[in-house]
Structure 1
Amino acid sequence: MFKNAYILIAAIIMSACSKEKSLQIDVFETASNGNKLTRLTTFSVQEDKSSIQLNPDKTFQTITGFGGAFTESSAYLLNKLSKDNRKKIIQAYFGKEGANYSLCRTHMNSCDFSLSQYSYAPTKDKALKDFSVKEDKADLIPMIKAAMQTSEDGFKLFASPWTAPPWMKDNNHWVGGKLLPEYYDTWALFFSKYLEAYKAEGIDIWGFTVENEPHGNGNNWESMHFTPEEMTDFVVNHLGPKLETDGYGDKIILGYDQNRAGLKEWVDVMFATEESSKYYDGTAIHWYESTFEVFPEDLQYAHKKAPNKYLIETEGCIDAEVPHWKDDDWYWSKEATDWGWDWAAEDEKYLHPKYVPVHRYARDIIGCLNNWVDGWVDWNMVLDRQGGPNWFKNWCVAPVIVDPENDEVYFTPLYHTMVHFSKYMRPGGQVVDVKHTDEELQVAAVQNPDNSIAVVVFNPTEHQKSFTITLGELSKDISINKQAIQTLVLTN
């Protein structure tokens, strides 16, 4: 009798508990104190807490993905390392327990982060009979294939040309100049041949940006200039129709592909009419206009101009710097300078002060998420201790730095910063409304397809902060260290 009574009471308790909702939160932190995606389970919460209120009933853009770029430089370096270190890096970027990158870029023809200048069609011939991607077969294609084999979820890959072959241009040079109108159809054919060649290698290209940095880059490395009107003419009358005719009409075409301050001029032309926007699937942007400004008004304007199209950050990096080797403190210090520190016009110098590398990444990605950007792609995945190889000696920093001579790998704090977003905010998720009362904190939230909510909180200040995060009637008190990024994963 007593045994049956105990069973009944236990059943009632279990039934009652099953009807209660409990807010489960996993907290991962990267901070200047040495935490690297460290799981936190205890918190020293202060009395003066701020609040973070989630409202998943109000949603914004759908996430396309996060990731980095496959460059010849990165791929070449991987092949200089031991098999174990190559696997370690690929696993770190594409493994489910690593960054789990979901959106990546590569270059079509050479770029500054190539070992030399090359084109898939070096011979002047409108039919492109000698087209070949043989230059990519030693390093670049094997790196992409290794990533594909490692990624359980798969990733989208888009390609960007820095320039057409010099023989198609009005200056007959790798750098600068414009595509001659007589070669518009030939250049469109080039894109189609690239898709075909990569498909033959077992690689499916998701889409393209039409031209990397169509304003040029100071006559330095591979480039080709377009005005908004010229690019739109090329896309509407040549590239779009050619891809459609050749059975590639499903490939994504992103226009522009340069800094955000020029966005308004471009989207006004690209999306002026139904005809002009017919083949554009969205807009690509970079971050080099400033070391601190996200340009929210420009991003909002671009979204309103084409609310149903992609808005993707396709390139950003710590540029004009030689990487600091195994020195985490530097990445958390306000010592980095960019190209504009030396070269920006005097009236634009204010946009290029010294900055903290980790802060720049976290601030920009959060700012983008809160202003309709649906994808964010880093530049090189791997560079060496010099910040290359780079045929132009345009040194930059990557999240992973290697020393091929000694077969060593350094995962910088920038790598862990990317993981806070790429691993936990998944494609198909939606940015959700979030309100927070501490203006010094920066916050973005995404509800994933599995209904989990990933919240990234960034504390750039020099003191610990505490907050109460609330979802409906459920809440939890959290503390975040000084100079820290946290990802909070909420599951019901």
Structure 2
Amino acid sequence: MQQPLVPHRILSMLSAALVALAPSAHASTVQAWITTGDRSQLLARAFEARMEPVADPGAATITVDPSTRYQAIAGFGAAITDASAYLIQHLDPARRDALLRELFGREGEGIGLSFTRLTIGASDFSRSHYSFDDMPPGQSDPQLKHFSIAPQRDTVLPTVKAALAINPHLTVMASPWSAPGWMKTSDNLVKGTLKPGAFDAYARYLDRYVDAMRAEGVTISALTLQNEPHFEPDNYPGMRVDPHQRAAFIRDHLGPLLARSHPGTAIFDWDHNWDEPESPAIVLSDPRAAQYVGGIAWHCYGGDVRAQGRLHDLFPAKDTWFTECSGGAWSPDWAKNLQYFTKTLIVDTTHNWARGVLFWNLALDGHDGPHLGGCANCRGVVTIDTATGAVTRNVEYYALAHASRFVLPGAYRIASSGENNVAFANPDGSFALLVANGDAQPRAVAVRVGAQGFRYTLPAASLATFTWRGVP
């Protein structure tokens, strides 16, 4: 038999009903999360502000204009390299599940990473150097009879599949560090360039990879044909592919093939630094190649982020993506790193049209590995202690989380004035504003949204994310 309602239960239900009927009260609340350079607050929920009528519109430090929309956002995240996947898969099942839910989920303390990058074969952050179709020196396999993604079956595949199960909206792109050695002038994964006679086989190799991943339930949303195509490392896989080669390869081989077999998989050109924007410009200036190029991918290791915006101005129909940057022991100052990763890799990349932002290794161990060649002191978004399974959340984690947790896939960047901030309108009707304070003292800011606004004092050397729903 149903129990009678006691008075306090009636009052509780009535209060809940009144809250449900009063959305304007909720809409005027501004929630805040803070991370400070001294680490006293780490993605910490801070005191709330209230949206109130703005008495002096000219006093605003930041004016947010939701009516002015720019690019749609796919997400923020980091690469699931061989090293990252190996470490994650060697955690005990409970720790592994908890870490993946924290990284890719939105429930509880999840930070909602929604963009990742895979390597097509080995990178420097692999325990061995391999492609998906290796042959003995002097031999070749033009029919790709020996093609297999088996080297990643126990590491990368279960990791990305688990991430997709947690976050079905995860965007997955992939980049090769080298074609199979037999396709190259070096007959080796290290150094060399693509043989002209191997263009067709290499296009089919990349297409076969998309096929194989789809068969495993992993949709590859975009490919680049080469990571850092102007760099030939001497101790790990790499391949030089100049812009005219890339244009010919895309125009005559990979573009038409993917258009037929995988029309939903985009091609991103470049996948290299800001300091040579003329290289992707050459590819986009070939109209037959450009028709197959969905966007340009950028790295942080040379040049200025504004190169993204300048190339976008020349080719506004092409998307912009930021696909790699790593922190490391060369920059040990936590507070300075927080400001750099936030201001340059979150704020500036999106102001310069990035639809997605990726850091490099999702996870590394306490020795900055495992790796074979390449970077000996790169830092992962998290560090996994291989002896204990303990996870350390690095400065990259907090810079990413201030965006990924609050900016949903499908959000739009919206107009915001001033420096060191960026604003987004989410598809669920909420808004997010990231603001960095690099000053050594607290900073008061006034934010205006339409006829409403709020004031807040940011701690010294800090990063804040503000969220709200609608403006009454």
Q: Is the 8 A contact 2:308 2:352 kept in 1?
A: yes
Give 1:127's aligned amino acid: Q
Unaligned segments of structure 1, at least 5 residues: 1-12, 44-48, 325-329, 333-355
How far apart are 1:25 and its partner, in Å? 1.0
Task: Note if 1:254 corresponds to 2:257.
Answer: no
The residue aligned with 1:357 is 337
Q: Is the 8 A contact 2:331 2:337 kept in 1?
A: no
Cα separation, 2, equivalents of 1:427 and 1:266: 30
The residue aligned with 1:378 is 359
How far apart are 1:18 and its partner, in Å? 7.4
The residue aligned with 2:227 is 212
How far apart are 1:102 and its partner, in Å? 1.4
Give 1:198's aligned amino acid: M
Task: Note if 1:37 corresponds to 2:43.
Answer: yes
How far apart are 1:385 and its partner, in Å? 0.7
How far apart are 1:250 and its partner, in Å? 2.1
Partner secondary structure for residue 417 of structure 2: strand
**C-alpha distance 166-477 of structure 1, shift in aligned 2 (>3 A):** same
Q: Is the 8 A contact 1:109 1:118 kept in 2?
A: yes
Q: Is the 8 A contact 1:54 1:469 kept in 2?
A: yes
How far apart are 1:217 and its partner, in Å? 4.6
The residue aligned with 1:268 is 281
Cα separation, 2, equivalents of 1:173 and 1:79: 29
Cα separation, 2, equivalents of 1:368 and 1:393: 25
Task: Note if 1:278 corresponds to 2:291.
Answer: yes
Task: Note if 1:62 corresponds to 2:62.
Answer: no
Task: Note if 1:101 corresponds to 2:104.
Answer: no
1:64-463 equivalent positions in 2, closer than 5 A: 64-97=74-107, 98-123=110-135, 124-151=140-167, 153-245=168-260, 247-263=261-277, 265-289=278-302, 294-296=304-306, 298-319=307-328, 321=329, 330-332=333-335, 356-364=336-344, 365-392=346-373, 394-395=375-376, 396-436=378-418, 442-463=420-441
Cα separation, 2, equivalents of 1:201 and 1:138: 12
Unaligned segments of structure 2, at least 5 residues: 1-17, 50-58
Partner secondary structure for residue 240 of structure 2: coil
Give 2:361's aligned amino acid: N
Cα separation, 1, equivalents of 2:48 and 2:267: 47
Partner secondary structure for residue 84 of structure 2: helix
Give 2:312's aligned amino acid: H
Q: Is the 8 A contact 1:323 1:385 kept in 2?
A: no
Q: Is the 8 A contact 2:438 2:460 kept in 1?
A: yes
How far apart are 1:192 and its partner, in Å? 1.2
Cα separation, 2, equivalents of 1:217 and 1:479: 48
How far apart are 1:469 and its partner, in Å? 0.9
Give TM-score, length-normalised by structure 2: 0.87
Give 1:283's aligned amino acid: I
Task: Note if 1:469 corresponds to 2:450.
Answer: no
TM-superposition CA deviations, 1:421-472 (whole Å, max 9, x none): 1121122211111113xx5xx1111111122111000011111011111111
Cα separation, 1, equivalents of 2:467 and 2:164: 26
Cα separation, 2, equivalents of 1:393 and 1:58: 43
**C-alpha distance 42-271 of structure 1, shift in aligned 2 (>3 A):** closer
Cα separation, 2, equivalents of 1:31 and 1:18: 32
**C-alpha distance 186-27 of structure 1, shift in aligned 2 (>3 A):** same
Give TM-score, length-normalised by structure 1: 0.84
How far apart are 1:64 and its partner, in Å? 2.0
Cα separation, 2, equivalents of 1:426 and 1:85: 26
Aligned residue-pair number = 434
Cα separation, 2, equivalents of 1:42 and 1:18: 17
Q: Is the 8 A contact 2:233 2:374 kept in 1?
A: no
How far apart are 1:189 and its partner, in Å? 0.5
Cα separation, 2, equivalents of 1:405 and 1:275: 53
**C-alpha distance 21-412 of structure 1, shift in aligned 2 (>3 A):** closer
**C-alpha distance 302-393 of structure 1, shift in aligned 2 (>3 A):** closer
Give 2:36's aligned amino acid: A
Structural RMSD (CA): 2.2
Q: Is the 8 A contact 1:174 1:223 kept in 2?
A: yes
How far apart are 1:358 and its partner, in Å? 1.6
Cα separation, 2, equivalents of 1:20 and 1:91: 32
**C-alpha distance 19-482 of structure 1, shift in aligned 2 (>3 A):** closer
Cα separation, 2, equivalents of 1:79 and 1:154: 22
